[in-house]
Amino acid sequence: MSIKKRLIFSNIAVIVIPVIGFLLVEIIWGYILFVIFNGNPTGKDLTLFISVRFIAMILVLIVTNGLLTYYVLKSILIPIKELSVAANKISEGNLDYSVESNKKDELGELSNTFERMRLKLKEAKDAQLQYEKNRHELIASISHDLKTPLTSIKGYIKGIQDGVANTPEKLERYLNITYKTANDMDGLIDELFLYSKLDLKSSPFQFEKVDLYSFFADFIEELAFNLEQEQGTATLVAKKNDSYVVMADREKLRRAVSNILQNSLKYMDKEHKSIQVLLSSQPDTVTIKMSDNGIGISKEAIPFIFEIFYRTDASRNSSTGGSGLGLSIVKKIIEEHGGTVWADSKLGKGTSIYLTLKKVI
């Protein structure tokens, strides 16, 4: 029952119950005194009747009022007290104190609104903690990834200073390694910078109509040409009459596709390298499937490959090992397009990366 109805009911009851009580007292007490005990409705008996009736009426009034006040207060004050305790706990930082109510009145509604607010606050606090944890991990990973090549550069320079590179060939080798390592660092910093711009959404996207068929035809032509020298193939498969026009930022999409295809080349262990891009058109989207016949990714690793700095052991141990930024950049770019990205892979057989983009209808 709502509080409004409860108050109306209690106001009516506070009049009706005493009236009925007075009548009952009058009838019962009158019957006892004048019928059962044969009292005389004048003089002493009448005075006794009036006095007892007066006291009984006062008692009826007190009891009725007391009970109704208790009923109303209990149903209003107790939930308010509970809410006040919860508000105090929350203000002290305890976000686990639940105030969920199954009452259907206004206070039940207020408790449930409060409960939703508590859950939202808890969610925000958890997200903040997770964010802090991610930030610390990120700083640790960046420091580690920059420190390792720097240590190597310092080592080679020290080698040159100490005269370890004592032949022109050795000196050239040391300088080449130092230059390559510095170059890798430069690339890593560029990637980090791009990731951070995408993360902060400070790199504006310029959307335009892009025909994915001709976009990929250019990519595949260049890739096929490079792979030809190593007996490899790169193919583009699409249905001739379907439309593959999407809204995309051409440059950023080029970056995303290039990261995926570079991984296909990097994690390739077969003699006959094969890369295939398959375009398929749905009513509202275009799906791009980019497959290779490389080393593949284990089932356990698949859910993490789009996370920043995630690298499988195969990547860490290989000489081509990357930074773990490539696919996280892909994810950011595709999500900014309102699209989705996921992977499917079999260890030893190969990997497929899927992208969906919104179609221009």
Residues lying near ligand ADP in the complex (CB under 6 A) are found at 259, 263-264, 267, 292, 294-297, 305, 310-312, 314-315, 322-328, 351
178 vs 315, which CB is nearer to ligand ADP? 315
- The least CB distance from residue 349 to ligand ADP, in Å, is 10
- The least CB distance from residue 241 to ligand ADP, in Å, is 31
The full DSSP string for 179-205 is HHHHHHHHHHHHHHHHHHHHHTT-S--
Which residues does 76 contact at the CB level (< 8 Å), separation at least 6?
3, 107
Tell me the one-letter amino acid at 271. E
- The least CB distance from residue 160 to ligand ADP, in Å, is 30
- The least CB distance from residue 84 to ligand ADP, in Å, is 51
90 vs 308, which CB is nearer to ligand ADP? 308
245 vs 333, which CB is nearer to ligand ADP? 333
- The least CB distance from residue 195 to ligand ADP, in Å, is 10
33 vs 314, which CB is nearer to ligand ADP? 314
Distance, CA of 35 to CA of 179 (rounded, Å): 122
Distance, CA of 200 to CA of 336 (rounded, Å): 12
60 vs 265, which CB is nearer to ligand ADP? 265
Which token pair is 281? Answer: 């058109």
Report the 3 state secondary structure along 54-70: HHHHHHHHHHHHHHHHH
Distance, CA of 232 to CA of 218 (rounded, Å): 17
Query: Apex CA 283: angle with CA 336 and CA 361, to 5°?
Result: 70
Residue 337 contacts residue 357 (beta carbons within 8 Å) = yes
- The least CB distance from residue 318 to ligand ADP, in Å, is 9
Which residue's CB atom is positioned nearest to ligand ADP?
A: 322
212 vs 275, which CB is nearer to ligand ADP? 275
